[in-house]
Structure formats: C-alpha cells, structure tokens
C-alpha cells in the first residue's frame, strides 16, 4: 500500500499498459477499494439481519434478506475483480473494511424487521449517492470510462435493491 499519498493502493508487480496513466489507475483503485469496503459492511449487516430477523413475517423477511446478501456477494466479487483488472490489490479484511468504509455497524443492536429494512435502505441510498459521485470522478478526473460504466451498473443494482426494500416499507 502506498503510504506517501495516503491512498488505498496495493498494486501487483506485473506491468500493465491499458491506456490509463498509473496515477489514474491508482485513483480509480482507491475509489473501488473504498466501495469494496462499504459493500462488505452492508453484506455483513444484511446477513446479520437474515440470521436475526423475527416476527410474523419471519419466513418472507428471512428469504428476502438472503436474496439481498446474495446479490451483494456478486457485487463484491465483481468489485474485487475490477480492482484486479486494473492491476490493483483488493482490500480483504474486516479491519480494512471498517477503517476505510463510510458505512457503520451497530454491534449488539437487533432491531425489529421494519427497522432492519429501513437501516438497509439508508445504507443502499448512501452507496448510491457515493457511486454517482465516484462514477463522475472516474470519467472526469481519471478518464476511465470502463470503471465509470462499471460503477453505473453497480449503482443500478443498488437502485433496484433499494426499490425492493422501499416496497417492504410501503403502507399503501
């Protein structure tokens, strides 16, 4: 990891020549690693809710949370592989996730199912806002249209997941 710039960059020793300057790739890898951290925090939070949901809608909520964390698992794998595509190293420890992610955990807190859904929705919406900004940065600042497109696709997946969560909160 480069300490001098304060960035979250780990790069393979193998040379890479894909039309992006090293500095641009490093900036994009930093963005992707921060996103990877938040995705993992959200994954664990969703899995925790899957395990600990109770109430009259237990069966439906338990299955719904499983669908959500399985979708997050796919996103996580795609993010880690995108980092590797750019010759970076993916962050992969809980310490790194908590140190570099924006999302926060709530240890020892086991809310009711509606609050669980509301918490997850809030986290997805935060990720969506971050992805919008980061997709623009990848295009405007780093000239990386591939990662711009990748982040937009990831954002769309989160928008759909947020819609599903919102539907569970609807009262009409």
Residue 10's pLDDT is 60
pLDDT in 10s for each residue of the chain, 172 residues: 443 334 466 665 677 878 888 899 999 999 999 999 999 999 999 999 999 999 999 999 999 999 999 999 999 999 999 999 999 999 999 999 999 999 998 888 999 999 999 999 999 999 999 999 999 999 999 999 999 999 999 999 999 999 999 999 998 7
| Paired tokens of 129 | 């806002």
In 115-139, which positions are buried (b, 16+ CB within 10 angstroms) versus exposed (e)?
A: ebbbbbbebbeebbebbeebbebbb
Residue 11: strand pairing partners: 88
**So where are the chain's domains?**
22-169
Residue 5's pLDDT is 36
Q: In CATH terms, is domain 22-169 a member of 3.40.50.170?
A: no
CB 9 within 8 A of CB 1: yes
The number of residues making up the chain comes to: 172
Residue 95's pLDDT is 94
Residue 110's pLDDT is 94
Report the C-alpha gap between 27 and 140 in whole angstroms.
12
Full-model pTM:
0.90
């Amino acid at each position: 990891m480069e300490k001098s710039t304060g960035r979250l960059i780990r790069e393979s020793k193998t040379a890479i020549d894909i039309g992006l300057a090293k500095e641009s790739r490093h900036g994009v890898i930093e963005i992707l690693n921060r996103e990877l951290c938040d995705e993992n925090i959200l994954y664990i939070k969703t899995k925790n809710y899957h395990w600990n949901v109770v109430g009259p809608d237990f069966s439906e909520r338990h299955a719904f949370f499983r669908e959500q964390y399985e979708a997050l698992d796919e996103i996580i794998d795609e993010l880690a592989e995108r980092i590797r595509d750019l010759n970076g190293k993916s962050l992969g420890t809980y310490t790194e996730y908590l140190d570099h992610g924006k999302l926060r955990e709530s240890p020892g807190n086991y809310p009711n199912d509606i609050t669980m859904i509301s918490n997850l929705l809030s986290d997805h919406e935060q990720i969506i806002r971050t992805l919008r900004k980061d997709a623009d940065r990848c295009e405007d600042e780093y000239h990386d249209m591939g990662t711009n497109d990748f982040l937009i696709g990831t954002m769309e997946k989160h928008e759909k997941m947020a819609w599903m969560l919102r539907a569970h909160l609807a009262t009409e």
